[in-house]
Amino acid sequence: MSHTGFRIIPAIDQSPVLVQLAQHAGGKMLLLAVFAFGLYLHGSRWWQELVLILALMSIWPQFRRPLLTAGTLYWLLSQHTRLKWDVLGHVFEVQGPGTTTSWPVYGLSLVVTTILFCAMYYYLVKRSHGTWLYRRPVAALLTGYLILLTIASYAPFTATQQAYLWGFLIILGHYIWFLAYSLQDRNAAPGTKFIYQLGHYQPFWGGTNTPFPKGAAYLRKIEAKNAEELAISQLKGIKLLYWAFILSLVLGIFKMVVYGKPFYNLASPVHLALPSLNDALAHTRSGEPYHWYINWGVLLVNFIKSMLVLSIWGHIIIATCRMAGFKALRNTRSPLRSRTIAEFWNRYYYYFKELLVEFFFYPTYLRYFKTRPRLRMFMATMAAAGLGNMLYHFFRDIHIIMELGIWGALKAFQVYVFYGLLLGTAIGLSQLRNQSRKQSTHWSRTYITAPVTVLGFYCITHIFGLPYPGYGLDVYFQFLMNMIIIRD
Amino acid sequence: MSTQAEIRNFLAEILNDKGDSSGFTDQQLLVTEGRLSSLDVMTIVVFLEEKYGIDFSDRPFDQNEFDSVESITALVDTLIN
- pLDDT per position as a tens digit, A50-104: 999 999 999 999 999 889 988 888 887 776 555 666 677 777 776 666 556 777 7
Chain A residue numbers touching B49 (CB-CB < 8 A):
370
Q: How many residues does chain B have?
A: 81
Chain B residue numbers touching A342 (CB-CB < 8 A):
39
Chain B residue numbers touching A380 (CB-CB < 8 A):
42
Q: Rounded to an integer, what distance in angstroms lies between the CA atom of residue A144 and that of residue A124?
A: 14
Answer for the pair A166, A95: CB distance below 8 angstroms, yes or no: yes
Q: Rounded to an integer, what distance in angstroms lies between the CA atom of residue A234 and that of residue A33?
A: 12
Find, in chain A, the residue whose alpha carbon is nearest to that of B54: A366
A49-57 long-range contacts (CB < 8 A, ≥24 apart) are: A49/A74, A49/A78, A50/A204, A50/A205, A50/A320, A53/A204, A53/A324, A54/A320, A54/A323, A54/A324, A57/A324, A57/A325
Answer for the pair A166, A94: CB distance below 8 angstroms, yes or no: no
Do B38 and A221 count as a contact with CB atoms less than 8 A apart?
no
Q: Rounded to an integer, what distance in angstroms lies between the CA atom of residue A149 and that of residue A95?
A: 16
Answer for the pair A325, A223: CB distance below 8 angstroms, yes or no: yes
DSSP string, A29-88: HHHHHHHHHHHHHTT-TTHHHHHHHHHHHHH-GGGHHHHHHHHHHHHHHH-TTGGGHHHH
Q: In angstroms, what CA-CA distances link A300 with A280, A303, A310, A388?
A: 13, 5, 16, 27
Q: Which residues of B touch A (CB under 8 A)?
A: 29, 32, 34, 37-39, 41-42, 45-46, 49, 56-64, 67
Interface test with A, best of B63, B71, B78 (most A CBs within 10 A): B63
Digit-coded pLDDT (tens) for B16-40? 887 888 889 999 999 988 899 888 8
Q: Rounded to an integer, what distance in angstroms lies between the CA atom of residue A463 and that of residue A471?
A: 12
pLDDT at B7: 94
For residue A255, give the amino acid letter: K
Answer for the pair A250, A256: CB distance below 8 angstroms, yes or no: no
Question: Strand, helix or coil at A412?
Answer: helix
C-alpha closest to that of A482 among A227, A337, A289: A289
- Residues in chain A, pLDDT under 50: 1-3
Answer for the pair A361, A322: CB distance below 8 angstroms, yes or no: no
C-alpha closest to that of A166 among A148, A143, A178, A181: A148
Percent helix, strand, coil in chain A (nearest 5)?
A: 75, 0, 25
| Residues 6+ positions from A196 with CB-CB distance below 8 Å | A65, A69, A216
Digit-coded pLDDT (tens) for A321-365? 999 999 999 999 989 888 888 889 889 999 999 999 999 999 999
pLDDT at A448: 81
Digit-coded pLDDT (tens) for A16-53? 999 999 999 999 999 999 999 999 999 888 888 899 99
DSSP single-letter state for residue A355: H
Q: Rounded to an integer, what distance in angstroms lies between the CA atom of residue A202 and that of residue A127?
A: 26
Q: Please state the ipTM of this predicted complex.
A: 0.84
**CB-nearest partner of B58 from A135, A185, A329:** A135
Answer for the pair A180, A209: CB distance below 8 angstroms, yes or no: no
Do B42 and A377 count as a contact with CB atoms less than 8 A apart?
yes
| Number of A–B residue contacts, CB under 8 Å | 49
Do A366 and B61 count as a contact with CB atoms less than 8 A apart?
yes
pTM of the model: 0.89
Q: Rounded to an integer, what distance in angstroms lies between the CA atom of residue A13 and that of residue A231?
A: 8
| Residues 6+ positions from B43 with CB-CB distance below 8 Å | B14
